[in-house]
A and B are shown apart, each in its own frame.
Chain A
Amino acid sequence: MTNKLQIKRALLLLAILGAAFAGLGYRLVDLQIFRHDELSAKAQHNTQREFRQAPRRGDILDANGNILATSVAVKTVCADPSLVGNQPDAVAHVIAPLLQLNEAALAQKLTPRSFVFKNSNGEIVTNELHYVRLAKNVPEETWQRISAALTNLTFGVDEKKLSRTNREFFRNLRQHAVFSQADQMRVYPNGLLAGQVIGFPAVEETNVGGRFISKIVGCDGVELTMQKPLSGVAGWRVTETDKAQRELVAWRDEDVYARDGLNVVLTIDSAVQHIVETALADALQKHTPKSITGIVMRPRTGEILAMVSLPNYDPNKSSSITPEARNRVITDVMEPGSTFKIVVVSGALNTGTVKLTDQFDCEHGHFAFAGRVLHDHEAYGMLTVKEIITKSSNIGAAKIGIKLGEQNLYNYASDYGFGQRTGIPLPGETRGILYPVKQWSKVSIAQIPMGHGVAVTRLQMLQALAAIANDGWLMRPMIVSRLQERDGSVVQTYRPERLRQVISEATSRLMIEALKTVATKDGTAAAAALKNYVVAGKTGTAQKVENGAYAPGKYISSFIGFFPADNPELCISVVMDEPKEGYYGGKVCGPVFRDIAERCASYLNIAPDPKLMTNAPPLVVENINHGNQTP
């Protein structure tokens, strides 16, 4: 009997234990197998964190390594209002002066609140707000002061006497309620210098899990066209954190460093840019034109050393940029006026249609052609081709054009690059207007040689002149020289690019001979002559076109030239839109050209023309090895 009872009891116990183990087994299988994916994701979510590592945007440097644009590490100060609790005023009181913000507005931002949103299932959910942004572009030093101020913050209570929950609240408030995110700010240390070439930035923000990730993007100039190499590639880190959100380094899973953006080195020389900007600013004050532009280019390579358009803008103040401050060198077109005569004369010389000594009757200033009367600014009789350039005779140029022929004129204009973009890596470049021959009127062949009926950009015009200075070879204008790493190692070099030979070397020499006469007392730009260098150039004065008709009293004045004429080092363009106090290109732009050229020659140490140095005191150099030289 006893045995039976004992056996029963043992069996019962066994059954209970068996059932318990079966229950545990089922639970184990349920957790580890059936709900494995869900639970492991939940576990990962609790501990694993992914941090994005933003790349540093590359710098923009000038040809000599001077910084034109750089990125500075700053902080974005944020807060979690849910951790601030009933202390927003105390926190705001401490950090508002450091952030230079209004205390009441800051306290308002720090006040805990909820927000309503629709989740992925379409349900309306109320959630506590955990993220507000207090200030952007806060310097590192300021953030350290904020951090120290919060750590030392007291709330007028003896925290040792508080309950554990309350103590934890104050600890979280000090350590986690206000936090910072690494960010960067674009800085242009030279302010206005080359603003339009460099461009300006904007901040693009993406919302990732309720937090904003900002990225700097270029909006104009090199910042825009070189966006990709400047941006770099973001990195990331997958890791785990402890309860206090401190990273557990041993649990780092993926750790991919961000690749910083490349530095973009321009062909622009800050000193030359500064020279041109100051010279144009003086001219702007004197002649008060609507706008004034200047370009300095090396004719042999197409490298642009300076590109200025006034009014300009300061990229540091991107919110105040107006359309008037656009880079007119490439965005605006104009009728070139007499500067376009270099195209027709060089074309005619190259084809052998004319020689420099050939004479044309300039009809004493009035030439009737195809129902129109063409005028010269002075009544000229017989002029040689060279004199037509010297005096800038419209009638002479028209007659050369007629002799050259429509198709030839079009071909040369097209070969010089008119009607096409130069391909300079800057945004907003226009093609200009060069109609095909079939769209020409009867008078076009007489008008185009004097720079009417075509529209060009300032850069196209200088590119054409640079081709004459470069033995007839048309070069693609260069603004970016190379891409390099932060340590200076070169990643990519942009070489000067020869596009085509428009005219022969012999023709270019003839053209230079003719252009040398412009900056003389007989020419139209005596004011552009330099003391120690022979200048070759051409003036231009074009009436402005408004609403399809020539506007009386409104001119675009220009002078383009290069020096030393026989060994060209620099090509310079100066163009004024509606100048006052005179409007002839040689009169208003010539002196500006001279100012720029003299200062650039001094800075770049360009050897003076030996022919013009005959009056110089003799230089005696005795035994240069021993340094006994007398300048």
Chain B
Amino acid sequence: MAKNRKHQTASIRFGPALKASFLCLLIGGSAIGFVWQKNEIYRLGQQIRQRETRLAQLQNDNKRLGDQITILHSPVKLDQRAKELNLGLAPAQPLQVVRLDETPSPAKDKNVSRQFTQRPVAGLTP
């Protein structure tokens, strides 16, 4: 023991010091990284939650506005509005409706499918 002390050099041994520092940095860095990662997970979780809420809200708004358009287009509302504005609108009388005969014309090209030209005239009601 005494012998070792006697021969001890005054200079710093960098090897072990570096090793120790590296180990400390590794452990410290891992700890900080772990905490940072946990924070990020929490932060992103909160963002996901906020965006989910926003998405649900936008979907609700979209549905509400879509419904509003449909309701404003409904025959009952249009009829009410036409009466309110006193536009003098009335349903077209049969004689005011132009009807064109849909006689099928024969297909010029024989290779063309005749499916549509041969189709009988369907009922006129929608």
Contact = CB atoms under 8 A, between A and B. Distances in A.
Contact of A67 (B42, B74, B91, B98): B74
B126 A246 contact: no
A604 B100 contact: no
B40 to A, nearest CB: 10
Interface of A is mostly: mixed
A421 interface: no
A599 interface: yes
A607 B99 contact: yes
Contact of A246 (B46, B79, B93, B100): B46
Contacts of A616: 95
B16 interface: no
B48, B63, B64: most-surrounded residue (chain A CB, <10 A): B63
Given A66-B73, A67-B70, A604-B125, A73 B49 contact: no
Interface residues of B, number: 34
B57 interface: yes
Interface residues of A, number: 38
A618 to B, nearest CB: 11
B74 A270 contact: yes
Given A569-B125, A601-B94, A629-B98, A250 B49 contact: no
A1 interface: no
B49 A246 contact: yes
Interface string A62-86: 0001110010110000000000000
A513 interface: no
Given A67-B67, A70-B67, A193 B76 contact: yes
A132 B124 CA distance: 59
Interface string A605-618: 11110000100110
A271 interface: yes
Contacts of A249: 44-46, 48-49
A227 interface: no
B102 to A, nearest CB: 11
Given A72-B64, A604-B125, A605-B97, A250 B45 contact: yes
24 contacts: A67-B67, A67-B74, A73-B60, A140-B57, A189-B74, A190-B71, A190-B76, A246-B49, A247-B45, A249-B49, A270-B75, A274-B75, A274-B79, A531-B94, A602-B92, A603-B91, A604-B125, A604-B126, A605-B124, A605-B125, A606-B124, A608-B94, A613-B94, A631-B96
Interface of B: 41-42, 44-46, 48-49, 57, 60, 63-64, 67, 70-71, 73-77, 79, 91-100, 123-126
Interface of A: 65-67, 70, 72-73, 140, 189-190, 193, 246-250, 270-271, 274, 531-532, 569, 599, 601-608, 613, 616-617, 619, 621, 624, 629, 631
